[in-house]
Amino acid sequence: MRPRIGITCGFAGERDPLALDRDYADAVDRAGGVPLVVPPGVPGEALAETLQAVDGLLFSGGPDVDPARFGEEPFPGMGRIDPARDEAELFLARLGLERGMPLLGICRGAQVLNIASGGDLYQDLPSQVEGVLKHVQQPTPMSYPTHRIRIEPGSLLARITGKASLRVNSWHHQAIRRVAFGFAATARAEDGVIEAIEKTGEPFVLGVQFHPESMGRGGSPEAILLFEAFVQACARWARD
């Protein structure tokens, strides 16, 4: 059986249908996994049972995380938040980390992994970081890489991609500031903004600030390798 990958999603609006970019499910399917959407707004008991039914979790991109989740008041640059999604994803991240499951966080998902473990964020890069690059690449196509990251030698990301640097796409105005205990920053943009974190001592707990699901649609071999490595880690988890 192919490994089952839970993918978190959000709402299109406060009470609208569930929303998830199809690139996430397509990327998991291409890599050999079975994508299963995990909705927010359900009780913790149901989420815990969902975790029993999957072999790994993919935390997808989405709106801003409520700064109250890391002990701050909102800055003027803060965007839309989704409290139900925050609650569900932080619960899943903490439980998944406790169980040692393979976890992949993308953009907001990387931030969720960091906050769940005690780290925090820049709420708004343009107003908080002097000399920051443009990290929101509109109107450039989402699959197109627009800036370079430097990858730490020996890191999981370096081993997967085989690269010391990589051009990536970029769709965020928030970013990881203080890295959580037990994690390491393993990639940065040229302006110093953290672009990847990994949990030390775990086979596969990785958060990336860019969007490999869209880069893979555009044919990026490194993005495709990233999803393949994640799905393979989930398959090993299922066998153990």
Checking phi first, is residue 154 left (phi over 0); if not, alpha (psi -120 to 50) or beta?
A: left
Checking phi first, is residue 17 left (phi over 0); if not, alpha (psi -120 to 50) or beta?
A: beta
Q: Is 213 a catalytic residue?
A: yes
Distant-in-sequence, close-in-space partners of 76: CB < 8 Å, separation ≥ 6: 124, 127
Q: Is 234 a catalytic residue?
A: no
> Active site residue: 107, 198, 222, 234, which one?
107
- d(CA 228, CA 64) in angstroms, rounded, equals 28
> Active site residue: 147, 211, 222, 234, which one?
211
Checking phi first, is residue 201 left (phi over 0); if not, alpha (psi -120 to 50) or beta?
A: left
> Active site residue: 89, 195, 198, 213, which one?
213
Tokens of 139: 């109107």
Catalytic residues: 107, 211, 213
